[in-house]
């Protein structure tokens, strides 16, 4: 039953907008990544990220998970503490009140009225795309209680119509009566959304709503029948284990619980089809959107679209402008770096990587700096850091990772390139360790450390070098 239109750039996401010129569909994130301004007309879509023309809606329903895939959510809905406590209190009153005689019976009726009001509030709340039950406040107990009487009136009118049809119209009357029965969910939805009896009993409105929902309406009816039966079954089961008072409470409570599921379900159907049905849901809530993580920088999304379109150069230019003008964003730098590698732009990559590595070193993220260096080397084998302040932290990071070949590569010619650098002893000590631990050349390592100890007897790491030297000698490796 999945005929969802998908985003051309995120195949797992439903599309929300489309550009007829580019023949492309966009999810919300993609549609809002253009740097062109939004149209002032609320009916217009956002500008197409590729051509700038205003996009058109593919129908809000397309981005809504259909109700038949969310049945489990509707079961969970009344278990929200807010609804649960409210229903428990109402069920308790209904269970205890009849002991008070006539006033008690009136109290039970009151509770039913209040609960029906709550069920309709739930329907309306869900129809607006909310996924949590509405807040219970004084209004909920005092305001708009008339909806319960409206519902009774609607049911009575429908029943009279059904009986009249069967009495006066023969076989056709039975067909009509069956239609009235099937129309009950439609009447509830219409009453919930428009609050008028004449709308809720109007067969033309029933036909319109059922036709708008289409075949899934039958599915809705089926679910409602099953739910209706569900509460009775639970009450029956409770008879075997509970005393009479308990059974009464269970009966009251489960009938409320299941009624609330039914109203939530009907509310969601309104939400899912609100565009076709012409219901105005005030804001586009995104109930249960597939991905709720923070949206990336629009420039990243735009670059993703351009890369998918094979326009890597344009993607690079866009990101480069954004990096130059906008606030710094690590994800943006990362993306730009990857794209430079993808595009094979060696020279640009080398220049960018140097700045990127410098920033990472300054932020003390030397592991990341080393990863950038490594990635850059793959495309630019003769990539040079040109700065001892970058080379030393990278050598240290490589040693920490025991990436001994990298240590040796970075240390090669260090003394000649950066004569007089205060880190020379440390760099060559690490190189010696790399020779020993990475290549098993203990003799060479000992020779380097011996020279270091002679030349820099006052260096801070002399003790460490000496211990290392002794360990190497103990191993009794080959001749120096």
User: What CA–CA distances, in Å, run from 199 to 136, 151, 189, 383?
Assistant: 27, 12, 10, 75
Binding residue for Zn ion, selected from 14, 33, 48, 220, defined by CB under 5 A: 48
262 vs 264: CA distance, rounded Å: 5
Find the part of the chain contacting Zn ion (CB under 5 A) among 29-37, 154-162, 219-227, 375-383: 29-37
DSSP alpha helix (H) spans, 128-170: 138-142, 146-169
Q: Which is nearer to Zn ion, 18 or 436 (CB)?
A: 18
Residue 7 found at the interface with Zn ion (CB under 5 A): yes
Considering the complex, what minimum distance in angstroms separates the CB of residue 23 from Zn ion?
Answer: 8
Considering the complex, what minimum distance in angstroms separates the CB of residue 19 from Zn ion?
Answer: 3
User: What CA–CA distances, in Å, run from 255 to 114, 205, 320?
Assistant: 14, 28, 61
User: What CA–CA distances, in Å, run from 38 to 31, 41, 47, 53, 55?
Assistant: 11, 9, 6, 11, 11
Considering the complex, what minimum distance in angstroms separates the CB of residue 14 from Zn ion?
Answer: 9
Which one, of 122, 121, 89, lies nearest residue 107 by Cα? 89
Find the part of the chain contacting Zn ion (CB under 5 A) among 48-56, 128-136, 181-189, 435-443: 48-56
Find the part of the chain contacting Zn ion (CB under 5 A) among 26-34, 253-261, 382-390, 428-436: 26-34
Q: Which is nearer to Zn ion, 51 or 232 (CB)?
A: 51
Binding residue for Zn ion, selected from 14, 19, 147, 350, defined by CB under 5 A: 19
Q: Which is nearer to Zn ion, 19 or 177 (CB)?
A: 19
Binding residue for Zn ion, selected from 25, 34, 45, 50, defined by CB under 5 A: 50
Q: Which is nearer to Zn ion, 70 or 302 (CB)?
A: 302
319 vs 347: CA distance, rounded Å: 17
Residue 305 found at the interface with Zn ion (CB under 5 A): no
Tokens of 60: 């809000």
Q: Which is nearer to Zn ion, 305 or 394 (CB)?
A: 305
Considering the complex, what minimum distance in angstroms separates the CB of residue 172 from Zn ion?
Answer: 52
Considering the complex, what minimum distance in angstroms separates the CB of residue 237 from Zn ion?
Answer: 48
Residue 409: is it exposed, middle or buried by C-beta count within 10 angstroms (0-12/13-18/19+)?
middle
270 vs 314: CA distance, rounded Å: 43
Which one, of 478, 479, 448, lies nearest residue 465 by Cα? 448
Residue 369 found at the interface with Zn ion (CB under 5 A): no
Residue 307 found at the interface with Zn ion (CB under 5 A): no
Tokens of 172: 């056709």
Considering the complex, what minimum distance in angstroms separates the CB of residue 339 from Zn ion?
Answer: 18
- Quick one: how many helices (H) and strands (E) in the chain? 25, 3
Residue 33 found at the interface with Zn ion (CB under 5 A): no
**β partners of residue 26:** 17
Window 51 to 90, contacts with Zn ion (CB under 5 A): 51
HSE-up (13 A, CA, CB side) for residue 47 = 15
Tokens of 34: 């253009």
417 vs 463: CA distance, rounded Å: 27
Considering the complex, what minimum distance in angstroms separates the CB of residue 9 from Zn ion?
Answer: 4
Binding residue for Zn ion, selected from 17, 18, 25, 27, defined by CB under 5 A: 27
Find the part of the chain contacting Zn ion (CB under 5 A) among 3-11, 87-95, 192-200, 401-409: 3-11
What is the total count of residues that contact Zn ion (CB under 5 A)?
Answer: 11
Q: Which element (helix H / strand E) includes 117?
A: helix 102-127
Q: Which is nearer to Zn ion, 7 or 307 (CB)?
A: 7
249 vs 93: CA distance, rounded Å: 9
316 vs 337: CA distance, rounded Å: 9
Residue 304 found at the interface with Zn ion (CB under 5 A): no
Find the part of the chain contacting Zn ion (CB under 5 A) among 1-9, 99-107, 346-354, 386-394: 1-9
Q: Which is nearer to Zn ion, 50 or 158 (CB)?
A: 50
Window 394 to 433, contacts with Zn ion (CB under 5 A): none
Find the part of the chain contacting Zn ion (CB under 5 A) among 19-27, 253-261, 381-389, 423-431: 19-27
149 vs 196: CA distance, rounded Å: 11
Which one, of 470, 468, 463, lies nearest residue 437 by Cα? 468
Considering the complex, what minimum distance in angstroms separates the CB of residue 311 from Zn ion?
Answer: 13
Considering the complex, what minimum distance in angstroms separates the CB of residue 47 from Zn ion?
Answer: 8
107 vs 97: CA distance, rounded Å: 7
Considering the complex, what minimum distance in angstroms separates the CB of residue 305 from Zn ion?
Answer: 8
Considering the complex, what minimum distance in angstroms separates the CB of residue 378 from Zn ion?
Answer: 30
Considering the complex, what minimum distance in angstroms separates the CB of residue 35 from Zn ion?
Answer: 14
Binding residue for Zn ion, selected from 5, 22, 140, 161, defined by CB under 5 A: 22
Question: Pattern of binders to Zn ion over 172-211, x per CB under 5 A?
Answer: ----------------------------------------
Rg (CA), the chain: 36
373 vs 349: CA distance, rounded Å: 11
354 vs 390: CA distance, rounded Å: 9
Residues near Zn ion (CB under 5 A) are 7, 9-10, 19, 21-22, 27, 30, 48, 50-51
């Amino acid at each position: 039953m999945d005929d969802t239109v998908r985003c051309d750039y995120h195949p797992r996401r439903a599309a929300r907008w489309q550009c007829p010129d580019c023949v492309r569909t966009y999810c919300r994130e993609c549609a809002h990544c253009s740097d062109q301004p939004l149209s002032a007309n609320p009916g217009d879509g956002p500008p197409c990220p590729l051509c700038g023309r205003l996009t058109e809606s593919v129908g809000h329903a397309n981005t809504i998970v259909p109700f038949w895939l969310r049945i489990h959510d509707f079961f969970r809905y009344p278990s929200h503490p807010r609804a649960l406590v409210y229903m428990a209190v109402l069920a308790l009153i209904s269970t205890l009140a009849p002991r008070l005689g006539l006033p008690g019976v009136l109290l039970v009726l009151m509770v039913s009225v209040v609960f029906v009001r709550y069920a309709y509030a739930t329907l309306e709340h869900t129809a607006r795309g909310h996924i949590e039950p509405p807040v219970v406040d004084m209004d909920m107990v005092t305001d708009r209680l008339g909806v319960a009487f409206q519902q009774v009136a609607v049911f009575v009118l429908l029943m009279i119509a059904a009986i009249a049809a069967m009495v006066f119209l023969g076989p056709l009357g039975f067909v009509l009566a069956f239609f009235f029965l099937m129309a009950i969910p439609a009447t509830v939805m219409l009453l919930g959304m428009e609050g008028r009896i004449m709308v809720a009993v109007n067969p033309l409105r029933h036909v319109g709503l059922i036709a708008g929902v289409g075949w899934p309406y039958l599915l809705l009816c089926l679910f409602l029948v099953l739910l209706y039966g569900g509460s009775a079954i639970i009450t029956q089961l409770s008879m075997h284990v509970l005393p009479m008072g308990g059974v009464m409470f269970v009966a009251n409570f489960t009938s409320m619980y299941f009624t609330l599921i039914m109203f939530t379900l009907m509310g969601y159907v309104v939400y899912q089809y609100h565009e076709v049905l012409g219901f105005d849901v005030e804001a586009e809530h995104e109930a249960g959107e597939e991905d709720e993580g923070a949206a990336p920088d629009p420039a990243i999304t735009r670059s993703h679209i351009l890369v998918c379109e094979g326009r890597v150069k344009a993607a690079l230019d866009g990101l480069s402008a954004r990096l130059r003008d906008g606030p710094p964003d690590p994800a943006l730098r990362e993306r730009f770096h990857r794209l430079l590698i993808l595009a094979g732009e060696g020279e640009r990559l080398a220049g960018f990587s140097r700045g990127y590595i410098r920033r990472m070193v300054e932020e003390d993220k030397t592991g990341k700096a080393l990863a950038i260096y490594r990635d850059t080397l793959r495309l630019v084998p003769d990539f040079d850091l040109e700065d001892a302040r970058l080379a030393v932290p990278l050598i240290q990071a490589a040693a920490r990772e025991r990436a001994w070949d990298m240590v040796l590569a970075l240390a090669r010619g260090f003394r000649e390139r950066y004569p007089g650098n205060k880190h020379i002893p440390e760099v060559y000590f690490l190189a010696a360790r790399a020779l020993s631990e990475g290549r098993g050349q203990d003799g060479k390592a000992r020779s380097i450390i011996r020279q270091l100890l002679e030349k820099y007897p006052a260096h801070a790491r002399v003790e460490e070098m000496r211990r290392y030297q002794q360990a190497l000698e103990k191993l009794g490796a080959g001749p120096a």
